[in-house]
Amino acid sequence: MDQFASAPGGIEELLSRLLERQRAAFMAAPRPTARERAEHLQRLETAVKKNQDAIANALGTDFGNRARPETVLAEILPTIAACGFARKHLAGWMRPQRRAVGLNFKPAVNRVEYTPKGVVGVVAPWNYPIYLTLGPLVDILAAGNRCMIKPSELTPATSALLAKLLGDIFPPEQVAVVQGDVAVGRAFCALKFDHLLYTGSTHVGREVMRAAAENLVPVTLELGGKSPVIVAEDYDVGKAAKSVAVGKFFNAGQTCVSPDYALVTGGRAEKFAHSVLAAAEAMYPKLDGNPDYTAVISDRHHARLTGLVAEAEAAGATILRHRDKPTGNTRHFPPTVVLNPPLDGKLMQDEIFGPILPVVRTENLDAALDFVNTRPRPLALYAYTNDSATERKILDQTISGGVTVNSTMLHVAQDDMPFGGIGPSGIGAYHGHEGFLEFSHTRSLHKPRFFTAIEILKPPYATRMRLALKMLAGFELK
């Protein structure tokens, strides 16, 4: 049951009160020092370390089965690393920067200062509900802000754990977790935050942006889309297939930067497709009762994935399925490769978000690049090539949020690189220094010394102004 189900005053009023409480606390202490911010991050890091088993258990409950190594690799370790990286660099990030002063304005001082924005709202997804909640929180706290968090209703055990974990280390006027259903989420996105971060689907991202626009709230949208794999002709398809399979079936494909489809030239496409399935069967010899293979989050998502494959098969695609078929009451969806999928079908139009990999034949690299460029800009792009000229061509002739070469998804795990999409795959970026900047206001400061030109060149505009304009701009005032 969500915390607003029987509360008097309605969802909107309760959320507004919480927001005003955080804003009042922020205005009472609007500039946390570097030491204070580092202490907040240390608290968060310590809490995550102490609650590793509880985190893994909660995720296991929500997913039905969540591979514990995947929880450690993709949720716990990157959160701990983000805290440490931010603490190490925080003082340098906060330091004001001197900027050049134009000759016409000297003597003077110019600098930019990085000030907290205030209260930041975070709408977190279900697929990585720890890291995609606490990762942004690291950047938000590093920037000196307060934070309200709305976790996904699809992961209630993890949401409850987050509420307890964060409630134990932060007062609600600093960090607060708001649990609830879709109605609570809509009310949350309509609040007058100083910044709003949403991670999730492009469709819902449009609704979030629309709600934020009513209050002119700046947004960071981490969306998704169909992230392509391009296997160049110089690269061994068997080697590429093993690499792609690791990224594709991690978390059962429920990853925003998961390889969504592969582009492989000519006759090599069939070998690649069979090699991907062989790699999946080697990683997961069985599916039922396999603790290493994560389940699909809900029955609705499982049914959606089943429908995608059925539609492609009915249209004539070749379906390669894992040899082990899950039985009983399970949401394990078998690793599946779809060769020659219909390009107008849902499988090639919608983000898959599951353990299904379409493999598309292309004539050559140019055809693969055209294929990518005639579709919405993806969150990630994966290029497999050992030729530097080919790598450069792929990078120069495509646009995506990020790129990993000869592997998948690893660019997201880099603390000192931004993570974000472009266009339909997202707006803005965070992680590390870019995250600090995303949730900070860059304020300009100009300080004249001794005198200012604006005070000298004031009305009435007479001979002095004419001479000044001629000297400064070569402009003859008539």
* pLDDT: which is higher, 120 or 454: 120
For 171-220, the pLDDT digits (tens) are: 999 999 999 999 999 999 999 999 999 999 999 999 999 999 999 999 99
* pLDDT: which is higher, 365 or 3: 365
What is the pLDDT averaged over residues 211-237?
A: 96
35 and 155 together in one domain: yes
Which residue is associated with the tokens 């140019």?
366
Instruction: Show the tokens assigned to 340.
Output: 């020659």
197 and 320 together in one domain: no
Q: Is the pLDDT of residue 5 over 60?
A: no
CA 418 to chain centre: 10
241 within a domain of the structure (yes/no): yes
Name residue 448's beta-bridge partners: 108
Residue 264 and residue 253: Cα distance in Å, rounded? 20
Sequence-ordered list of residues with C-beta below 8 angstroms from that of 116, at least 6 positions apart, any chain? 26, 30, 31, 32, 143, 144, 145, 439, 440, 441
> What pLDDT does residue 437 have?
98
201 and 250 together in one domain: no
Our CA angle for 381, 433, 429, nearest 5°, is: 40
For 400-417, the pLDDT digits (tens) are: 999 999 999 999 999 999
> What pLDDT does residue 444 have?
97
Cβ neighbours around 474 below 10 Å, total: 7
Strands (DSSP E) along 18-159, which ranges?
97-99, 108-116, 119-123, 146-150
CA 109 to chain centre: 37
Domain count, the chain: 2
Element (H, E) at 232: none
DSSP conformation letters of 458-473: -SS--HHHHHHHHHHH
111 and 259 together in one domain: no
What is the pLDDT averaged over residues 436-455?
A: 89
Domain that holds residue 92: 10-223+429-441
157 and 271 together in one domain: no
What is the pLDDT averaged over residues 272-281?
A: 98
117 and 205 together in one domain: yes
What is the pLDDT averaged over residues 434-451?
A: 94
SS3 content of the chain, % helix, strand, coil (to 5): 45, 15, 35
333 within a domain of the structure (yes/no): yes
> What pLDDT does residue 1 have?
35
147 within a domain of the structure (yes/no): yes
Q: Is the pLDDT of residue 270 over 70?
A: yes
What is the pLDDT averaged over residues 446-463?
A: 75
CA atoms within 13 A on the CB side of 317: 31
460 within a domain of the structure (yes/no): no
Residue 161 and residue 157: Cα distance in Å, rounded? 6
What is the pLDDT averaged over residues 446-469?
A: 73
Residue 17 and residue 9: Cα distance in Å, rounded? 10
Q: Is the pLDDT of residue 317 over 60?
A: yes
- Active-site positions read 222, 256
The per-residue b/e assignment along 217-253, b for 16 or more CB within 10 angstroms, e otherwise, is: bbbbbbbbbbbbbbbbeebebbebbbbbbebbbbbbb
458 within a domain of the structure (yes/no): no
Coil, helix or strand at residue 375:
coil
141 within a domain of the structure (yes/no): yes
Residue 297 and residue 152: Cα distance in Å, rounded? 12
140 and 255 together in one domain: no
Coil, helix or strand at residue 404:
strand
Percent of the chain with pLDDT over 70: 93
119 and 152 together in one domain: yes
379 within a domain of the structure (yes/no): yes
> What pLDDT does residue 477 have?
57
249 and 219 together in one domain: no
Tell me the average pLDDT of the chain.
94
> What pLDDT does residue 476 have?
66
Q: Which amino acid, 210?
A: R
Torsion of CA 370, 372, 373, 379, to 10 degrees: -160
CA terminus-to-terminus distance, the chain: 76
Q: Is the pLDDT of residue 456 over 60?
A: yes
CA 215 to chain centre: 23
What is the pLDDT averaged over residues 449-470?
A: 71
278 and 394 together in one domain: yes
92 and 167 together in one domain: yes
> What pLDDT does residue 451 have?
75
Instruction: Show the tokens assigned to 458.
Output: 């004031």
Domain CATH code at residue 213: 3.40.605.10
Element (H, E) at 262: strand 261-265
What is the pLDDT averaged over residues 437-456?
A: 88
Sequence-ordered list of residues with C-beta below 8 angstroms from that of 255, at least 6 positions apart, any chain? 127, 128, 247, 353, 409
Q: Is the pLDDT of residue 288 over 90?
A: no
178 and 246 together in one domain: no
Percent of the chain with pLDDT over 90: 87
Name residue 445's beta-bridge partners: 111
For 142-162, the pLDDT digits (tens) are: 999 999 999 999 999 999 999
pLDDT band at 470 (very low <50, low <70, confident <90, very high): confident
Picking from 416, 451, 467, the residue at the C-terminal end of a domain is 416
212 within a domain of the structure (yes/no): yes
Domain CATH code at residue 349: 3.40.309.10
Sequence-ordered list of residues with C-beta below 8 angstroms from that of 466, at least 6 positions apart, any chain? 476, 477
